[in-house]
Structure 1
Amino acid sequence: MDLIAVPFNSSGAADGVALAPAALLDAGLAAALPGARVVEADVPAADPSRGPSGLAAEESLAGMVASVSERVLAAWSADRMPVVLGGDCPVLLGGLVAAESRGYGAGLVFVDGHEDAWDPHRSTTGEAADSEIALALGWATPPAALAPMLPCLRAADLVQLGPRDAGELAEAGQPGIAGRVEALDGRRLAAPGGLTVAYDLAAALVAQTRHWWLHVDLDVLSTEALPAVDYPQPGGLSWSQLETLTEDLLEIGGCGGLSVCIYNPTLDGGAAAGQIAGFVADAARLLERHAG
């Protein structure tokens, strides 16, 4: 197994979520996975200003995605499973680009409290973490350096589980993704029976695509469960629900890689790092067990 550390913050800063990979490793993540190899992706120095695409830190974003893709491909070539530790959600693009470069597209099960499909020019921040799904699908014009790698995902190969930002999108005039892809919003996901519906949606996706990637943004959790995220929202899952959902999804089998993102250890002094490291270690073991 390769633990791919990606200290990337799509605001262009070197702190905040960029510190999460180190916090998880310091909390014993690698030690909990005997035989795991830690590799770090390259994250070029960032210019936080917004470029022609509407995104901040364009060159850093493109360089990071290319580097993560290389690390994922190297893991697969060595018959090792890639576990990508962000940082911000755009790190998942590296796994999808890697699959595309092998000549096939990978399905994506996207567990997140946000849709992340903003038009970058509408985003109030310009952070690529608002827009990586739009970039992956080809719904947004990427930075020039990233354009050769995109799109890397088809709408039919995406399932979104847990977004609960519909009100924010409507207020901003940003069209939501619901109706264009399979999606289960956060309210329904957290409700009784929601995890079963999520499993069925994911299983149907896996049945139609040979290869798939699992992405977990920890802001799918409630603020009570994890306060150390930059953009908290009402609602969300409990830790128990997220653990059950992740286990159920990975037990479908055939997942080629996992990314986990969005913890900001500066907001809680690293208090949640141990619990998150335990969650990632459990998921990584399931990923290896059910990969075939």
Structure 2
Amino acid sequence: MEASGWAVLGAPWDCSGTGRGEADAPAALRRAGLGDLAGLDAGDAPIAITTTARDPATGVRALAETRRAADALTAALTSLLARAPDRRPLVVGGDCSLLLGVVPAVRALGPVGLWFVDGHPDYQAPADSATGETADLELGLVTGDGPDALTGLAGPPPMVPPAAAVLIGHRAAGLDAAAAAEVARVPEAVRRIDAATLVADPAAAGERARGWLDGSGRSVWLHLDLDVLDPSALPAVTYPQPGGPDWDALAAALRPLATSPHLSGVSVADFRPDLDPGGGYAARVVALLDAVLP
């Protein structure tokens, strides 16, 4: 990870409103050495989601606070992009719905594509989500599926056209009925590489995903939800699932994406330092980023 090329921005985002742990991840990753690897640390965006109430009209949890959090992260990232145009941002969360603040800032600079690396599709309808958390919804929201209050954060939706999104690492076999229904909701236009395919040949999976978007004429954002990893590799996440890659396989899949000339930035989400009291997993996350990011 070249220190001169990256700027860290913390996004202490916990869409559950319960303080369950993700919001502490930026601080934990800095303690593990992330700040020493980047040339600039821009601090944390002022994000606070503290309610668990679901909006009666949409079913989304903490809707008003989520909009404010998205606006705050968009403003912080926009400011960083303006004052450090020679650096690519590394946004560390927080849970994966931080994309609701990231994508509007990047999209303001031009059309954007998305490599979405996640153990889940995050394409539920709010009414189908047991919790209403935006962490169940955000890929749908950024590709135009969901309530106007969130799909329109960057103007007329979609923020990212479905054909400019690639879903990587989601579980597609052995699912219960609800999880299978969520996978089925993902539009055909969203290209996908499931976890079994990634594990079978990680480098080829990364090259295929890169090829799909490298010629799109868009900058591309790389989003990494750490629950893509198998729980045997990283149990310190909110929603672990078996069947994912180990650290080495994930690194091999990410390298082609991280070295794309069209990469505009990276976000990392869903690390739970409260489930990592010794800090060993935080250090492993930092080592992954150091090994993968150019």
Aligned-pair distance for 1:143?
Answer: 3.5
Q: Could you say if the C-alpha distance between residues 227 and 148 of structure 1 is closer, same or farther in structure 2, counting changes exceeding 3 Å? A: closer
Q: Could you say if the C-alpha distance between residues 97 and 171 of structure 1 is closer, same or farther in structure 2, counting changes exceeding 3 Å? A: closer
Q: How does 1:102-181 map to 2 (within 5 A)?
A: 102=109, 104-143=110-149, 147-149=152-154, 150-164=157-171, 167-168=175-176, 170=178, 173-174=181-182, 175-177=184-186, 179-181=188-190
Q: Identity over aligned residues, as a percent?
A: 33
Question: Bigger shift: 215-224 or 249-258?
Answer: 249-258
Q: 1:222 aligns with which of 226, 230, 238?
A: 230
- The reply on whether 1:37 has 2:41 as its aligned counterpart is yes
Distance 1:172 1:194 in 2: 24
Q: 2:29 aligns with which of 24, 28, 34?
A: 24
In the alignment, is the contact (CA less than 8 A) between 1:115 and 1:177 conserved in 2?
A: yes
Secondary structure of the residue that 1:83 maps to in structure 2?
strand
- The amino acid of 2:115's aligned partner reads V
Tell me the TM-score normalized by structure 1. 0.89
| Unmatched tracts of structure 2, length 5 or more | 1-5
Aligned-pair distance for 1:120?
Answer: 1.1
Q: 1:60 aligns with which of 35, 43, 65?
A: 65
Distance 1:29 1:96 in 2: 23
Aligned to 1:289: none
Aligned-pair distance for 1:257?
Answer: 0.7
* Deviations, residues 123-178 of structure 1 (Å, cap 9, x unaligned): 0111100100111111111447x744353110010011110056245567443316
- The reply on whether 1:241 has 2:255 as its aligned counterpart is no
Q: Could you say if the C-alpha distance between residues 64 and 163 of structure 1 is closer, same or farther in structure 2, counting changes exceeding 3 Å? A: same
- The amino acid of 2:26's aligned partner reads P
Secondary structure of the residue that 1:228 maps to in structure 2?
coil
Aligned to 2:3: none
Distance 1:172 1:156 in 2: 21
In the alignment, is the contact (CA less than 8 A) between 2:17 and 2:52 conserved in 1?
A: yes
Aligned-pair distance for 1:280?
Answer: 2.5
* Deviations, residues 70-113 of structure 1 (Å, cap 9, x unaligned): 222222222121110011101123221112223x2200011111
Q: CA RMSD in A?
A: 2.0
Distance 2:274 2:24 in 1: 8
In the alignment, is the contact (CA less than 8 A) between 1:218 and 1:261 conserved in 2?
A: yes
Distance 1:206 1:172 in 2: 30
In the alignment, is the contact (CA less than 8 A) between 2:113 and 2:213 conserved in 1?
A: yes
Q: Could you say if the C-alpha distance between residues 106 and 47 of structure 1 is closer, same or farther in structure 2, counting changes exceeding 3 Å? A: same
Aligned to 2:282: 273
Distance 1:61 1:274 in 2: 29
Secondary structure of the residue that 1:21 maps to in structure 2?
helix
* Deviations, residues 251-283 of structure 1 (Å, cap 9, x unaligned): 222211100010111123133111112223344
Q: Could you say if the C-alpha distance between residues 84 and 148 of structure 1 is closer, same or farther in structure 2, counting changes exceeding 3 Å? A: closer
Aligned-pair distance for 1:68?
Answer: 1.8
- The reply on whether 1:188 has 2:194 as its aligned counterpart is no
Distance 2:48 2:65 in 1: 5
Distance 2:265 2:179 in 1: 35
Distance 1:94 1:233 in 2: 26
Secondary structure of the residue that 2:140 maps to in structure 1?
helix
Would you say how many aligned residue pairs link Structure 1 and Structure 2?
281
- The reply on whether 1:92 has 2:103 as its aligned counterpart is no
Tell me the TM-score normalized by structure 2. 0.88
- The reply on whether 1:48 has 2:52 as its aligned counterpart is yes
Distance 1:45 1:159 in 2: 28
- The amino acid of 2:68's aligned partner reads G
| Unmatched tracts of structure 1, length 5 or more | 287-292
Aligned to 2:220: 212
Which 4+ runs in 1 deviate beyond 6 A? none
Aligned to 1:262: 270
In the alignment, is the contact (CA less than 8 A) between 1:50 and 1:57 conserved in 2?
A: yes
